Structure 1
Amino acid sequence: MHLFAADAPATTVDVNSLWLLVAAALVLLMTPGVAFFYGGMVKAKSVVSMMMMSFGAIAIVAVLWVLYGYGMSFGTPLIPHVLGNPFDGYIGLEKMLGIQPGGAMQPDLNGLAFVGFQATFAIITVALISGAIADRAKFGSWMIFAGIWVTVVYFPVAYWVFNLTDGWLASVLKVNDFAGGTAVHINAGAAGLALALVLGKRVGFQKGIQKPHNVPLTLLGAALLWFGWFGFNAGSEAAVDGVAAIAWINTLAAPAAATLGWLIVEKIKDGKPTSIGAASGAVAGLVAITPACNILTPGWAIVLGLLTGAVCAIAIEMKWKLGFDDSLDVVGIHLVGGIIGTLYIGIFGSGIGLLDTGSFKQLGAQAVGAFSVLIYSFVLAYAIGWVIQKTIGFRIANEDEIAGVDTVVHGEEGYLLDAR
C-alpha cells in the first residue's frame, strides 16, 4: 500500500526540516549517552539497572508524548499561559499526516519534524533524574514515577518555557531559555533532589562510598552526550542560520572551558585531575550553555564554562555536608549548572543583559523562571515519589541493595566473568 499520495508535487528538500530531523536523532542518542555516563559510575552489580532506567524513560515518555504530551506542551491553550490541550496531541499528529481521500498521506514535514525533536527533550529530561537514585530504586516504581512526573511536571513546564506564543515564562516574562536550562536541567535537578530525599541514603553512605566501576564507559557516555548536544542546542533554532551556528560554536567552547575549570579545582582540592572530573566538567559546561547558547558571544561562553566547571566541582560536595544522597551528582551538575547558565544571561546576554542595557529586568525574569521551575518540580516530584514509596515502595530493600540491583530486579548481570 502506498503511504504517500502518488500525485503529490515534487518539492525541493526543506533544509531546515532536514536539520531538525538530524538534530532530533542526535538528541535521542543523548539518552543512551546518559545510560553509559551514569552506568560507568555505579557499582558493577548495578550497571544494568542504571542503564535500564534511561531506556525505560525512552519507552514510557515516547508513548505519552505521542498520545498527549505534544498537545500539553504545544497545543492550543487549555489554560492560557499555563497548559496546552492534551487532545491536540494525537489528534494534532493525525492532522499533520494530511490523510487524503483514499487513505494516502501528505505529511507536514516541518510540523512532524518539530514534534519529533521536542519528544527527545522530554525523554532525556526524565532520564537525567535517575542518576540521583542510582543503586537503590525499583524499576517498576521508577517507570510509574516517570510517567506521572513527565505528565504533571515536564509537559506543563515545556509549555511555559518553549511555547513562545503563549507560555507564561516565554511570552509574558520573556525568559531566555533557548534549549532547556530551566525546562530540562533545573527541572531534572530539582526532581532528582526530591527523589534522593524520598528514597534516603544508600547503605554505608559516606564520602568515598564507591568509585566508578568502569571509567571508560563513563567517558564514552560523556562523548555521546557532547556529540548529541550539538543537536540539542543548534537544533533548537529549527533553522540553518547564523543563530544555529553561534549555538554550535558556544556548545564547543563552554564545555571545553568547563572541563578546564573543573580540573583546576580538582587539582587544587585533591591534588590530581581525574578523567571522571573531565567528563563531569564537560557535562556541567554543556548544561550551563544550554539556555544561553544563542545569546552569548564565544568569549562570554568561555567565561561561563570556566565559572560553571569550577563552581560545580565544589557544589558536588554539598551532599556530604548537607546529608542528602544524590548518587551521581544530578543536583551539583544539572541543578547548579542550570541555575548558573540561566542567571548568567541576565548579566552577559547580548542586547538583553545588565552589561548591555544597564537594567536588572532580564536578570529578574531569568531568576523568576529558574526558581519557579525549581520549586514546582521539587514539590511535585517529592509528592509523587512519597506516594509511590508509601504504597508499592520505591526503594529496594537494604539486603537487595547489597546483593546487587541487577540480579534482584532484572535477573541479569552486567559482566559474566566465569568461563562458559
Structure 2
Amino acid sequence: MDSGNLAWSVAATALVLFMTPGVAFFYGGLVKAKSVVSMMMMSFGALGLVSVLWILYGFNMSAVDSTWAFAGNPFSDFGLGGLDSDGLVGATFGATFAIITVALISGAIADRAKFGSWLIFAGIWATVVYFPVAAWVWGGGWIMGLGETFGFSAEVIDYAGGTAVHINAGAAALALALVLGKRIGFQKGITKPHNVPLVMLGASILWFGWFGFNAGAEGTAGLLGTGDSSVGLIIINTVGATAAAILGWLLIEKLKDGKATSVGAASGAVAGLVAITPACANLTPGWALLLGVVTGAVCALAVELKWKLGFDDSLDVVGVHLVGGMIGTLYLGFFATGTGLFVGGNAEQLVIQFVAAFGVLIYSFVVAWVIGFAIEKTIGFRIKNDDELAGVDTVVHGEEGYSLVEQA
C-alpha cells in the first residue's frame, strides 16, 4: 500500500471509529435525562468488547475460502500475530464496522436494559451474526457469490454495509424490542428528547465520520490515485443523498404534524446516510438525490409504525436503519448504474439484492431473538419496573448524567 492509500486508510479508520461516540451522543440526547449514561455506555461497551473480539478471532471469521462456508476459522490467526502492517490497517478498518453495527442495536432497548446482559448479547451476536455476515457480504461468502450461483451477470452490490450493517442491526433491534417488551407507559409521546443539541451533535459526527465509512475502502483496496477509484462519486453521493433525505423527512413532518423539527432533520440525515451506504459507488448523483428524498420521506412515516403495531423500538432503529437499509439495498435493483432494471440492466440485480437483503434480515432477527430470549429467561435482560421508574442510570451505573447544584 503506497503512502497516500495508507494515510487515507488510517484517517478513514479514525473517522469510522469516531462514529460510535457519535451514535452515543445521538442516542443519548434522544432518551430521558435519567437514562443518558446508560444509553451512551451501551455504545462505549460495544466499542470495548467488540474491538477485543475482533482482534482475537472476529477478523479471522470475516473471510471464507468457500462460497458456502458459514464463517472463517476463528483460530487461523488468533490475536492477529501473522498480519503485516498493511493487513493490520485493513483489519482495524473492519473492526470499526463491527463496533458500530453492534452499537446501533442498543437504541431499540433504551431505558430498560441491564448493562451486563447487553454486553453478553453484544458478544454472542457479534460472534454468531456480524462476523459471519461480514464474510458472506465482503469476504467471499454466499452473498458475494450469489450472482454466480444464479448464473447471472450481475453481482450483489453492498459497498459499505446496507445488509451487513444496517439491515443486520435493524433486524436484531426489532428482535430485542420484542423480547424486552414495552416501556412502562408506552404510548405516543411517552418521552421527548432530553437534550436536542446532543442529538444534533451526534448526527453531525455521524455525517462527518460517514465519509470514512463509505470512502474508506478506496484506500485499503489501494485504489486512490488509480483510474479504478470511485471516491469522487462516493463522496458526492454521501453528501447529496443525506441532504435530500433531510428535506424528505422535514416535508413529511410539516405535512403530518405542522412543524419541521431539528430532531427530524437529524433523523432524516441518518436515514439518508443509511440508504446511501450500500449504493454510494453505484448510483449517479441524480439517482442518489432521489434515493435520499424517498428514504427521508418513507422513514419519517415508518417510525410511526411502532405505535400501530405495538413494538417498543425506543429510538427508531427499525424505522431508520432496517427500513433505510432495505430501501438503499433494493433501490440498487432498479437504479444501479448499468445493471439496475431501469438504467440499462434487467431484473437480475433486483433479484439478488432482494435475496441478500431478506437473507440477512431473517437470519439476524431469528438469532438475535433466540439470544435475547435466552438471556432474559436466565440472568434477565430487562431491569425491574421500579428501577425503570427510578432511572436506569443510578440503578445500573450509580451515576447521573447531570449533577445540578443549587447556588447558595
TM-score by length of 1: 0.92
**In the alignment, does 2:87 pair up with 1:111?**
yes
Q: How does 1:224-263 map to 2 (within 5 A)?
A: 224-237=205-218, 238=220, 239-241=223-225, 242-263=229-250
Equivalents in 2 of 1:245, 1:89: separation in Å?
35
Kindly name which structure, 1 or 2, has the bigger radius of gyration based on alpha carbons: 1
Question: 1:70 touches 1:115 (CA, 8 Å); kept in 2?
Answer: yes
Equivalents in 2 of 1:306, 1:55: separation in Å?
32
Equivalents in 1 of 2:245, 2:322: separation in Å?
16
Question: 1:47 touches 1:414 (CA, 8 Å); kept in 2?
Answer: yes
Q: How does 1:355-374 map to 2 (within 5 A)?
A: 355-374=342-361
Identity of aligned residues (%): 69
Partner of 1:4: none
Equivalents in 1 of 2:77, 2:176: separation in Å?
29
Partner of 2:151: none
Q: Which secondary structure state, in structure 2, belongs to the residue aligned with residue 355 of structure 1?
A: coil
Q: How does 1:185-204 map to 2 (within 5 A)?
A: 185-204=166-185
Q: CA RMSD in A?
A: 1.3
Partner of 1:124: 100
Q: Which secondary structure state, in structure 2, belongs to the residue aligned with residue 210 of structure 1?
A: coil
Q: In the TM superposition, what is the alpha-carbon distance from 1:236 to its structure 2 partner?
A: 2.4
Partner of 1:157: 133
**In the alignment, does 2:378 pair up with 1:404?**
no
Equivalents in 1 of 2:16, 2:406: separation in Å?
38
Give 1:254's aligned amino acid: A
What does the per-residue CA deviation read over 1:174-215, in whole Å, with 9 as the maximum and x for residues that have no partner? Answer: 210000000000000000000000000000000000100000
Q: Which secondary structure state, in structure 1, belongs to the residue aligned with residue 113 of structure 2?
A: coil
Question: 1:66 touches 1:89 (CA, 8 Å); kept in 2?
Answer: no
Q: In the TM superposition, what is the alpha-carbon distance from 1:13 to its structure 2 partner?
A: 5.0
Q: Which secondary structure state, in structure 1, belongs to the residue aligned with residue 343 of structure 2?
A: helix
Partner of 2:145: 171
Match of 1:86 among 74, 77, 81: 74
Equivalents in 1 of 2:68, 2:121: separation in Å?
27
What does the per-residue CA deviation read over 1:249-290, in whole Å, with 9 as the maximum and x for residues that have no partner? Answer: 111110100000000000000000000000000000000000
Question: 2:338 touches 2:345 (CA, 8 Å); kept in 1?
Answer: no
Q: In the TM superposition, what is the alpha-carbon distance from 1:359 to its structure 2 partner?
A: 1.1
**In the alignment, does 2:9 pair up with 1:20?**
yes
Give 2:340's aligned amino acid: G
Give 2:265's aligned amino acid: A
With 67-76 and 23-32 compared, the bigger mean Cα shift is at 67-76
Q: In the TM superposition, what is the alpha-carbon distance from 1:357 to its structure 2 partner?
A: 3.2
Q: In the TM superposition, what is the alpha-carbon distance from 1:20 to its structure 2 partner?
A: 1.1
Equivalents in 2 of 1:412, 1:295: separation in Å?
46
Match of 1:184 among 162, 165, 169: 165
Question: 2:146 touches 2:352 (CA, 8 Å); kept in 1?
Answer: no
Q: Using a 3 Å threshold, how does the CA distance of structure 1 residues 129 and 200 change in structure 2: closer, same or farther?
A: same
Equivalents in 2 of 1:86, 1:123: separation in Å?
18
TM-score by length of 2: 0.94
Equivalents in 2 of 1:89, 1:211: separation in Å?
47
Give 2:101's aligned amino acid: T
What does the per-residue CA deviation read over 1:18-64, in whole Å, with 9 as the maximum and x for residues that have no partner? Answer: 21111011000000000000000000000000000000000110000
Moved over 6 A (4+): none
